[in-house]
């Protein structure tokens, strides 16, 4: 990811910022400027709740180099209360604990770092509610 893309996506990544169409009420994450359903360009910003449930998941046994520090780890599809489905890492969960339908909440964590003293990228992941 380029530095420009990183900053452009900062709000969605840190606050789960979405947009909602003022005409048809469809919610978009990441945010869109124009509703692709009704072509309305008056979309309002909203923060998603960060609360949802696990739809499905898989265990990543052999992570890519940037994510080796996490491995093995879980990646899942989380359906938020607002009906939005997000692909994200599932953290702080044991193998015997993770199951479809379990409640989850937003957690901000390290994604990866470039170099030993380089830029550290952070973003959203999901965990069981505390
Ligand atoms: Zn619309």
CATH classification (class only), 49-130: mainly beta
**Cβ–Cβ < 8 Å for 84, 29:** yes
User: How far is the centre of ligand 1, averaged over its atoms, from the C-alpha of 83 (Å)?
Assistant: 15
- Return the higher-pLDDT residue of 15 and 58: 58
pLDDT score recorded for residue 24? 97
Percent of the chain with pLDDT strictly greater than 70: 86
Residue 12 has pLDDT above 70, yes or no: no
* Cα 30 to ligand 1 centroid, rounded to whole Å: 15
CA atoms within 13 A on the CB side of 118: 8
Ligand 1 centre from 41 Cα, in Å?
A: 8
Q: Could you report the per-residue pLDDT of 38-95, keeping only the tens digit for each?
A: 999 999 999 999 999 999 999 999 888 777 777 789 999 999 999 999 999 999 999 9
DSSP string, 107-128: EEEEEEESSTTS-EEEEEEEE-
The pTM score is 0.80
Greater model confidence, 51 or 13? 51
Distance 12 CA to ligand 1 centre (A): 20
pLDDT digits (tens, 9 = 90+) for 95-113: 999 999 999 999 987 766 7
> What spacing in Å lies between the alpha carbon of 79 and ligand 1's midpoint?
21
Cis peptide before 42 (omega within 30 of 0): no
Q: What average pLDDT does the segment 121-130 reach?
A: 87
- Report pLDDT for 11: 60
């Amino acid at each position: 990811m380029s530095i420009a893309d990183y900053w452009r996506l900062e709000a969605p990544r840190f606050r789960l910022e979405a947009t909602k169409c003022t005409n048809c009420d469809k919610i978009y994450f990441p945010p869109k400027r124009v509703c692709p359903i009704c072509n309305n360009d008056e979309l309002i910003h909203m923060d998603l709740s960060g609360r949802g449930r696990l739809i499905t998941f898989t265990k990543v046994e052999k992570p890519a180099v940037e994510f080796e520090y996490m491995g093995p780890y879980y990646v899942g599809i989380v359906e938020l209360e607002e009906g939005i489905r997000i692909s994200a890492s599932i953290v702080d969960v044991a193998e015997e604990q993770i199951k479809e339908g379990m409640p989850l909440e937003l957690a901000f964590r390290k994604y990866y770092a470039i170099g030993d003293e380089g830029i550290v990228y952070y973003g959203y992941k999901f965990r069981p509610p505390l």
